Structure 1
Amino acid sequence: MSARPRAVLFDRDGTLVVDVPYNGDPDAVRPMPAAAAALACVRAAGVPVGVVSNQSGIARGLLDAGQVSAVNTRVEELLGPFAVWRWCPHGAGDGCACRKPAPGMVLDAAAALGVPPGEVALIGDIAADVGAADAAGARAVLVPTAATRREEVEDARTRGRLADDLLGAVELLGFSA
């Protein structure tokens, strides 16, 4: 890959923390293996980190914005501060510009950080994350989980943006572990 990005965004559920579907309970938050170490690598380089997360449970009536904020606060308690948080409360059929794979959250986070989208990377676990990065002109790294489809893994492997874990993802972006 090219030069190290000037900002790194992470998907929340399944990437930074274990995916608990429609989680509104801060006590259920558990970091993914190597999340703290990967974030430390990026932060040690003086590069800001942020989170972009689809939260369609709000649109579905399964949780509210306060619960999402409480979970996000717990993520920060466990993994340290993030320079920017962006989350989409819409459902898949709402036609918004923010829900991944649309580029809205990535573009907004990049603007908030004062970094051109082409100098931002997004690390996620599914095609929607990669698609959002692509649509925004950012770089993408896929870290597969049980939720990742085989064809998504193969596409990421073919394009040189597949990592086994979060430490591998930040190393692929040029950060030292």
Structure 2
Amino acid sequence: MPRAEKPAAQLVILDRDGVINQDSDDYVKSLEEFLPYPQAIEAIARLSQSGWTVAIATNQSGIARGYYDEATLAVMHERLNALVAEAGGEIAHIVHCPHSPGDGCDCRKPLPGLLTQVGTALGIDDLAGSWMVGDSLRDLEAGEAVGCRPVLVRTGKGERTLAKHPERANDGRTRVFDDLAGFVDWLLGRQP
């Protein structure tokens, strides 16, 4: 049965590390190191309950670097899906780039390949008007490349990103929030 086409404006694409869970400069390599922010899990559930489609697009170069494997990543994502389901929500799709920066792939953010994979999987041809939430410039750039509205959160590497790119806070396009829950509060509060 074909999927019903959802308007892109009802889609929120999230980066993972630093947005949903604590990030680490040493990589999140195991289920034990995968520490979701409780408010992020609740925020995803609230988005889902309000009719938004939530997807995740995450760079995971630790796979190419040999720090963990696809099976370990799958276990982390199973846990994430379970936590969101327990909170009453749903993650529609998760995509990841397993490549290192030098691999020459087309999916590693800031390239838009992961986001186009999300669109294809969800039956959305045009991502313009959807939201891309991240903690790094590459997240925002990947989203902008496909017409997403950029959101920067201060969690994870977000404060560092703002310090390096202060213009993002005043560019008239990028919305900046303390965390994912703050963005969701704002987004759901502006709907009729």
Which SS does the other structure have where 1:123 is aligned? Answer: strand
The yes-or-no answer on 1:119 pairing with 2:124 is: no
Q: How many residues align?
A: 174
**Cross-structure match for 2:101:** 92
Counterpart CA distance in 1 for 2:189 and 2:46 is 6
**Cross-structure match for 1:70:** 75
**Cross-structure match for 2:118:** 109
**Cross-structure match for 2:4:** none
- TM norm structure 2: 0.81
In the TM superposition, residue 146 of structure 1 has moved relative to its aligned partner by 5.3
Give the residue type in structure 2 aligned to 1:135.
A
Counterpart CA distance in 2 for 1:155 and 1:46 is 29
In the TM superposition, residue 72 of structure 1 has moved relative to its aligned partner by 1.0
In the TM superposition, residue 36 of structure 1 has moved relative to its aligned partner by 2.2
Which SS does the other structure have where 2:175 is aligned? Answer: coil
The two structures, once aligned, show a CA RMSD in angstroms of 2.2
Q: 5+ residue gaps in structure 1? A: none
- TM norm structure 1: 0.88
Please identify, of 22-31 and 7-16, the stretch whose mean Cα deviation from structure 2 is larger. 22-31
**Cross-structure match for 2:36:** 31
Q: Rg: which structure is higher? A: 2
Give the residue type in structure 1 aligned to 2:171.
T
Identity of aligned residues (%): 35
Among 64, 70, 92, the residue aligned to 1:59: 64
The yes-or-no answer on 1:135 pairing with 2:145 is: yes
CA shift digits 1:72-102 (9 cap, x unpaired): 1111122233111100001111121100010
Counterpart CA distance in 2 for 1:98 and 1:23 is 20
Give the conservation status (yes or no) of the 8 Å contact 1:124–1:143. yes
Counterpart CA distance in 1 for 2:129 and 2:54 is 13
CA shift digits 1:21-50 (9 cap, x unpaired): 432321322222520232122112211111
